[in-house]
Structure 1
Amino acid sequence: MLTINKLNFSYGDMQVLWNIDLAVHEGEIVTVVGANGSGKSTTLKNISRLVAPQSGNIDFQGENINSLESHQVVERGLVQVPEGRKIFPEMTVLENLRMGSFIKSARPTREANVERVFTMFPRLKERQKQLGGTMSGGEQQMLAIARGLMTNPKLLLLDEPSLGLSPLFVKIIFEIIQEINKQGVTILLVEQNVFQSLKISDRAYVLETGRIVLSGTGSELLSNDHVKKAFLGM
């Protein structure tokens, strides 16, 4: 579904991604793990076309998307839920959700998708008239993910969805990710919570200082000595 080949990216004179090769197959949960500053979020920004790669190719469903604008990528079904949630704080929950179906292709299914996400996130249904900015961090993360689903994504990019959440909400968010995947949405997940993310992943990549240093199944990386030492304190 998604193939990245020899991706390089720089912020000015500072190169932050080096020859990234990565693939996501339809139906998978694939995770990119790494420490803060390793280049995880920058990788997603390149895929979403929020920034342009210095070199390399990004293909989505057989189409090279290097030259596309970010809104054109969304229209093709590649949707990112950004780090920090980025909801509209002065809008209600329902208004935030409807903004998620702004693109033309998502408008005909807007109300059906509202009901779909309310079924998946009953807490959001209870708070549909509440301003997004008055909700807890965990509730805002639910809203950000639900808003992403309003676009009918084929591939959902999740950038640090558990960041700053309580242990209870971390558990809930990872359960939600698995449920979304079971409903047919392929997922590329970027996470610092290495243990939880590898537990639910079909495959994963370890990113260190802008380079992929390891890849394998989630269970393989959980048992890898380098991963244990670097990320799990074992």
Structure 2
Amino acid sequence: MLRIEKLNFSYGDLKVLWDVDLEVKEGEIVTVVGANGAGKSTTLKNISRLVKPDSGALTFDGQDLSRLPSHRVVELGVVQVPEGRRIFPEMTVMENLRMGSYVKGTRKDRERNVEWVFDLFPRLQERQKQLGGTMSGGEQQMLAIARGLMANPKLLLLDEPSLGLSPLLVKNIFDIITGINRQGVTILLVEQNVYQSLRIAHRAYVMETGRVVLTGGGQELLDNEHVKKAFLGM
């Protein structure tokens, strides 16, 4: 579904990504883990065309993403839920959800998708008239994910969905991600929470200082001695 080959990217004179190779197959949860500053979020920004790579190939369902504006990438079905939630705080829950189906081709499915996300997140249905900015961090993260689902994603890009959440809410968010995947949405997940993200991943990549240093199945990398030592304190 998604293929990245020899991706290089710099912020000005600072090189951030070095020859990154990555692929996501339909139906998978693929996780990219690593410390803060490893290049994980920058990789997602390149896929979404929020930034322009120095070199390399990015293809989705056989289509070249490198020349497309970001809104066209969304129309193809690649939808990013950004780090830090970035909901519209002065809008209600329902208004935030409607903004998720603003892109051409998704409006016809708006009512059906509202029912879908309310089934996934009953708390949002209870609070559909509440302003997003008055909700808790966990509720805002649910809203951010739900807003992304309103755009009919074929591939959902999740950037640090557990950031700033309590341990109980973290487990809940990862269970929800697994449930979304079981309903047919392919997921590329970027996370600093190495244990939880590898636990649910079909395949995973470990990034360090802008390079992919390890790849394998989720459980395989949980059992890897380097991963245990570097990220799990074992």
Same fold (TM over 0.5): yes
Q: 1:221 aligns to what?
A: 221
Determine helix, strand or coil for the equivalent of 1:163.
Answer: coil
Q: What letter matches 1:164 in structure 2?
A: G
Determine helix, strand or coil for the equivalent of 1:219.
Answer: helix
Q: Which structure 2 residues correspond to residues 80-95 of structure 1 after superposition, within 5 A?
A: 80-95=80-95
Q: 1:54 aligns to what?
A: 54
Q: 1:63 aligns to what?
A: 63
Q: Which structure 2 residues correspond to residues 1-234 of structure 1 after superposition, within 5 A?
A: 1-234=1-234
Q: What letter matches 1:72 in structure 2?
A: R
Q: What letter matches 1:180 in structure 2?
A: I
Q: For residues 121-175 of structure 1, give each alpha carbon's deviation from its aligned partner in whole angstroms, at most 9, with x where no partner exists.
A: 0000000000000000000000000000000000000000000001111011001
Q: For residues 94-135 of structure 1, give each alpha carbon's deviation from its aligned partner in whole angstroms, at most 9, with x where no partner exists.
A: 000000000110000101111110011000000000000000
Structure 1: runs of 5+ lacking an equivalent: none
Q: What letter matches 1:175 in structure 2?
A: D
Q: Cα offset for 1:93? A: 0.2
Cα RMSD between the aligned structures?
Answer: 0.4
Q: For residues 197-226 of structure 1, give each alpha carbon's deviation from its aligned partner in whole angstroms, at most 9, with x where no partner exists.
A: 000000000000000000000011000000
Structure 2 distance, partners of 1:39, 1:127, is: 36
Structure 1 distance, partners of 2:181, 2:87, is: 22
Structure 2 distance, partners of 1:211, 1:104, is: 36
Determine helix, strand or coil for the equivalent of 1:18.
Answer: strand
Total equivalences in the alignment: 234
Structure 1 distance, partners of 2:78, 2:229, is: 34
Q: What letter matches 1:216 in structure 2?
A: G
Q: What letter matches 2:31 in structure 1?
A: T
Q: What letter matches 2:179 in structure 1?
A: E
* Superposition TM-score, scaled by structure 1 size: 1.00
Structure 1 distance, partners of 2:65, 2:45, is: 13
Q: Cα offset for 1:66? A: 0.2
Determine helix, strand or coil for the equivalent of 1:104.
Answer: coil
Which contiguous aligned blocks of 4+ residues in structure 1 show a shift greater than 3 angstroms?
Answer: none
Structure 2 distance, partners of 1:5, 1:174, is: 28
Q: What letter matches 2:191 in structure 1?
A: E
Structure 1 distance, partners of 2:168, 2:219, is: 23
Structure 2 distance, partners of 1:232, 1:171, is: 17
Q: What letter matches 1:78 in structure 2?
A: V
Q: What letter matches 2:103 in structure 1?
A: I
Q: What letter matches 2:78 in structure 1?
A: L
Q: What letter matches 2:52 in structure 1?
A: A
